[in-house]
Structure 1
Amino acid sequence: MAYAGKLGFQMDLKASADKFYGSIRDNTTLFPKIFPDKFKSIQVLEGDGWSVGTVRFWTYALDNITESQGNLIDLVAKEKIEAADEANKSATFSIFEGDLSNFYKNIIVKLYVTPKSEGSSVNWCMDFEKVSKEVPDPNLYQDFVINIFKDLDAYLCMP
């Protein structure tokens, strides 16, 4: 029996679509630099870091996952870029192996950045299949992405 679900959000941004999508495209180097407390490293294992077929290994920390002393626990994930469309500023990623694999069989993340008259809009969607019905939806990860996108937008709009 499959325990599939979907999470997603839409967020208005002050940054232009080109700037925001560019920062997502360059997240391998940019995220550990501007969010060192959240992203320990993002390593390219296969490919050039952004094109279809690229595989990356993420070491990251979620705000609410700590050890008994209150220190953040490093989590890991492998991600493959399944689709990337520069013209339409969209990308699709599959997340496999790592900590999420203990709870979810399949995770597909889709991202769309749309220009607006002022700024842009980002749509983010996660399709997932749980390993059992007892596993909660990955709301913690959605909240993590929302906060990263808010902080990234603020960073991109700094003078």
Structure 2
Amino acid sequence: MASKVELVVEVKSPADKLWAALRDSTELFPKIFPEQYKSIETVEGDGKSAGTVRLLKYTEAVPMLTFAKEKLETADDENKVVSYSVVDGELADFYKNFKITLKVTPAKAEGEGGAVVSWAMEFDKANDQVPDPDVIKETATKTFHDLDDYLLKN
């Protein structure tokens, strides 16, 4: 049975700027987060549209993961929605299905700028011994805040 974990993160960066940075994560994330990513490369597709496959290589600082291969399922720039499924790597061993969906919307208060990131993780554990992926939720929260800090300075 599929489980779902959701989180909402408010940031100060404008929605368009945050979305552009998230869509450019292949190039940007290894530069901004060298403690997490050795590299991120596009191995199939154009890097931006549905069907694209990326290979993420993690540093030793990331527990239990060395790499993940993810397939872009949805890429909707107009509505600022992206979703991807993990198709290879340790996460694929721990979870039969593992999908992340992300949506960026402008903050509700007019004239204040800022954005809201709605993030959802759906997964099916391979077996009962596999822990819930809480560390991934915590990492996502930290990543959105750290990305926001980076964008506000650059």
Q: Same fold (TM over 0.5)?
A: yes
Q: Is the 8 A contact 1:42 1:58 kept in 2?
A: yes
Structure 2 residue corresponding to 1:52, chosen from 9, 30, 50? 50
Kindly tell me: are residues 157 and 62 of structure 1, through their superposed partners in 2, closer, same or farther at Cα, counting changes over 3 Å? farther
Pairwise CA RMSD of aligned residues? Answer: 1.5
Distance in 2 (alpha carbons) for counterparts of 1:61 and 1:127: 24
The answer to whether residue 83 in structure 2 is matched with residue 88 in structure 1 is: no
Letter in 2 for 1:95: V
TM-score (norm. length: structure 2): 0.92
Which residues of 2 match residues 14-93 of structure 1 at below 5 A?
A: 14-61=12-59, 63=61, 65=63, 75-93=66-84
Question: What are structure 2's unaligned runs of at least 5 residues?
Answer: none
The question of whether the paired residues in 1 share the 8 Å contact of 2:65 and 2:90 is answered with no
Q: Which residue of 2 aligns with 1:110?
A: 101
Q: 2: CA distance between counterparts of 1:82 and 1:63?
A: 28
Structure 1: any 5+ residue segments left out of the alignment?
Answer: 66-72
Q: For residues 61 and 124 of structure 1, do their structure 2 counterparts lie closer, same or farther at Cα, with a shift above 3 Å needed?
A: farther
- Aligned counterpart for 2:144 among listed residues 144, 149, 159: 149
Give the conservation status (yes or no) of the 8 Å contact 1:62–1:144. no
Q: What fraction of aligned residue pairs are identical, expressed as a percent?
A: 43
TM-score (norm. length: structure 1): 0.89
Q: Tell me how far apart the structure 1 counterparts of residues 59 and 6 of structure 2 sit (CA, whole Å).
A: 21
Q: Which amino acid aligns with 1:129?
A: D
Q: How many Å apart are 1:133 and its aligned residue? A: 1.7
Write the letter of the residue equivalent to 1:40: K
Give the C-alpha shift of residue 61 in structure 1: 3.9
